[in-house]
Chain A
Amino acid sequence: MNTEITVHVDGAPRRLTIDTRTTLLDALRERLGLTSPKKGCDHGQCGACTVLSGGRRVLSCLILAVTQDGAKVVTAEGLAAEVATAGGEREDGDLHPVQQAFIDCDALQCGYCTPGQVVSAVGMLDEFARGWPSAATPGTGAPRLDCAEVAERMSGNLCRCAAYANIVPAVLQAAAASTGPASGAEVAR
């Protein structure tokens, strides 16, 4: 059963005629040629397909594309432009602070899970800046971002190379660079 949808992907409206069975992940990869969201497990267990939809991190393998008509979707490829839109000029090759932190901290080995990790970290840092708690947050106060908080908040992104020892510092580095005092949240270094 075919349906026509328009999805705004990485800043551009994309009109598609899709089978209702198509996941957002398959629409991005197979129809739009955007292969940064990866198909790891295809069952919502690994996080490699993570994208932002409506500004929130979600799993594109468990979303039917037909439900995304009119939605604003950002993949790892579109992250740098998001920052540029918010902060001014952008040049080709510019990186999002989370992407730069992953490079600085050598937070990957094979790299397959990395686009999902990076997008998930961007979404997670926004949640943290809003004061959202996690299972690692004690009491009802504002959370403080430390290793335990990052590990808990990023637990939906598996890394088969087990680069976690460098992913956690990368996320903390990006958080320290982007967390303003106004958020009420605090980053431990």
Chain B
Amino acid sequence: MKPFDYLSPTDAAAAVRTVAGDPTAVFLGGGTNLVDHLKLGVVEPDLVVGVTDLLSADIEELGAGALRIGAGAKNSELAADPRVREWFPMLSDALLSGASGQLRNMATTGGNPLQRTRCVYFQDITTPCNKREPGSGCSAVGGWTRNHAILGASEHCIAVHPSDMSVALAALDAVVRVLGPDGERTIPFADLHRLPADSPERDTVLEHGELITAIDLPARPIARRSAYRKVRDRASYAFALVSVAAALEVEDGVIVDARIAFGGVAHAPWRAHRAEEALRGSPASVRSYRAAADVELADARPAEGLDGGNAFKIPLLRRTLTATLRDLAREDAR
């Protein structure tokens, strides 16, 4: 590991100034991904700036049914919060389906969305990777693709975003509060992560030195009937092959509204606006759910690879969305 200096400023503004002033400096939150990357040589900063202790870990109410989650709140605390479990069950489900008890005790609200892809080629510094080393090529294209994207990928990168929490936040219209060298700004959560296009080295729209200080959840009564369903290669402690965060409102057998996002299938949490639109006004039936999945997946493009490719993800995601909506509709009928 390359030597680095470590600083732990006492307030967020000082941390932002410090990182903004050094092009290789990085913020350290829970460290569950960054410390691994330091060991692997994926990142080689001259300066590491610890921020967990200076960020709020509070989960406070912003009026009826809305929450502000401090960026320092641990994933385990957030998942167990009674308001999150009651008002936004898909978020609690998503958090609890990710990582392990130990990792959730370390990982933070601000850090989780900024974790990087678990693409094996990205994490192996001996292989070409456009995300790690722009212009070097993509080893995943034509390589091992089981865990890679079927939506929104480019010829330069087919990696997926690994966060479960982020999928729920995208579906819940969350808002990211950011402090940068020029002051504060807010970003709709669904706009935080980028698709790879020709610059896969940029995971998000954040500029160097910008720090997530909180994530706001607006009141969403529909989310009280919501769920997160994750399909993976083992029963626990594994990343998603595909996942679905969904909320559904049904009245007299007709779908009034829906919120849907997919995980494990794109470079960003995939908000399924087209599926939501297709569902509104449709009967709450398996036929409608399948049709909505087909509309959203019309542009899906599987990757071909040494392992037989990942075309299996398209029918798998279609079935997972259908099952999730079917279960929510049953819950709603009770």
A20 to B4, CA, bound (A): 7
Complex Cα gap A57–B99 (Å): 13
Closest to B35 in A: A62
CA distance A120 to B103 in the complex (A): 11
Q: Secondary structure of the B side of the interface?
A: helix
Is B76 close to A, CB under 8 A?
A: yes
The answer on a CB contact under 8 Å between A1 and B3 is yes
Is A97 engaged at the interface, CB distance under 8 Å to the other chain? no
A34 within 8 A of B: no
Closest to A23 in B: B35
Residue of B nearest to A21 (CB): B1
- The residues of B that contact A154 with a CB separation of less than 8 Å are 101
B301 within 8 A of A: no
User: Contact check: which of A20, A44, A132 meets B6 at CB < 8 Å?
Assistant: A20
- CB contacts (< 8 Å) of A146 on chain B: these are none
How far is B28's CA from A21's CA once the two chains are assembled, in angstroms? 13
A contact residues, total (Cβ < 8 Å): 39
Determine the distance from Cα of A59 to Cα of B102 in the docked complex, in whole angstroms.
Answer: 6
B86 cross-chain contacts in A, Cβ below 8 A:
140
Given A20-B3, A21-B38, A156-B102, A127:B236 Cβ within 8 A: no
Interface string of A49-79 (1 = CB under 8 A from B): 0100000111100111011000000000000
Query: With a CB–CB cut-off of 8 A, which chain A residues contact B28?
Result: 64, 67
Of the A-B pairs whose beta carbons lie under 8 Å apart in the complex, a sample of 21, sorted by A's number, is: A1-B5, A1-B6, A20-B3, A58-B102, A58-B105, A58-B106, A59-B102, A62-B31, A63-B31, A63-B106, A67-B31, A123-B101, A127-B76, A132-B79, A133-B85, A133-B92, A140-B86, A151-B236, A156-B99, A156-B102, A156-B237
**With A1-B6, A67-B28 already in contact, 14 other A-B pairs whose C-beta atoms are closer than 8 Å:** A1-B4, A42-B39, A56-B76, A59-B106, A62-B35, A62-B103, A63-B106, A67-B50, A127-B101, A133-B80, A135-B93, A153-B101, A156-B100, A156-B101
Contact of B199 with A by CB under 8 A: no
A21 touches B4 (CB 8 A): yes
Expressed in whole angstroms, the minimum distance between the Cβ of B15 and any Cβ of chain A is 14
B interface list, Cβ under 8 A from A:
1, 3-6, 8, 28, 31-32, 35-36, 38-39, 48, 50, 52, 76, 79-80, 82, 85-86, 89, 92-93, 96-97, 99-103, 105-106, 235-237
Bound complex: CA A62 to CA B30 (Å): 9
Contact of A155 with B by CB under 8 A: yes
- Chain A residues whose CB sits within 8 angstroms of the CB of B5 once the complex forms: 1, 20
Alpha-carbon distance between A14 and B295 when the two chains are bound, in angstroms: 61
A143 nearest CB across to chain B (Å): 10
Q: How many residue pairs at the A-B interface have CB separations less than 8 Å?
A: 106
Contacts of B93 in A (CB 8 A): 135
A3 part of interface (Cβ distance < 8 Å): yes
Among residues of A, the one whose C-beta sits closest to the C-beta of B8 is: A67
> A155 touches which one: B82, B100, B106 (CB < 8 A)?
B100
Q: Find the A residue at minimum CB distance from B93.
A: A135
Residues of B within 8 A of A130 (CB): 80
Residues of B within 8 A of A3 (CB): 6
Query: Is A131 in the interface zone, CB < 8 Å from B?
Result: yes
A125 to B257, CA, bound (A): 40
Q: Do A57 and B35 touch (CB < 8 A)?
A: no
Contact of A47 with B by CB under 8 A:
yes
Closest to A51 in B: B102
Q: Are B80 and A156 touching (Cβ within 8 A)? A: no
Bound-state Cα–Cα, A30 to B7, Å: 24
Within 8 A of B (CB), among A1-60: 1, 3, 19-21, 23, 42-44, 47, 50, 56-59
A135-B93, A152-B236 given; A64·B3 CB < 8 A: no
CA distance A120 to B86 in the complex (A): 28
- Give, as a whole number of angstroms, the nearest-CB distance from B190 to chain A: 25
Cβ B101 vs Cβ A124 within 8 A = yes
Residues of A within 8 A of B39 (CB): 42-43
User: Across the interface, do A155 and B236 meet the contact criterion of CB distance under 8 Å?
Assistant: yes
Complex Cα distance A73/B75, Å?
Answer: 20
Interface pair B102/A140, CB less than 8 Å apart: no
Max chain A C-beta neighbours (<10 A), residue from B32, B76, B235, B236: B236
Contacts A58-B106, A62-B106, A132-B80 given; indicate if A120 touches B101 (C-beta within 8 A): yes
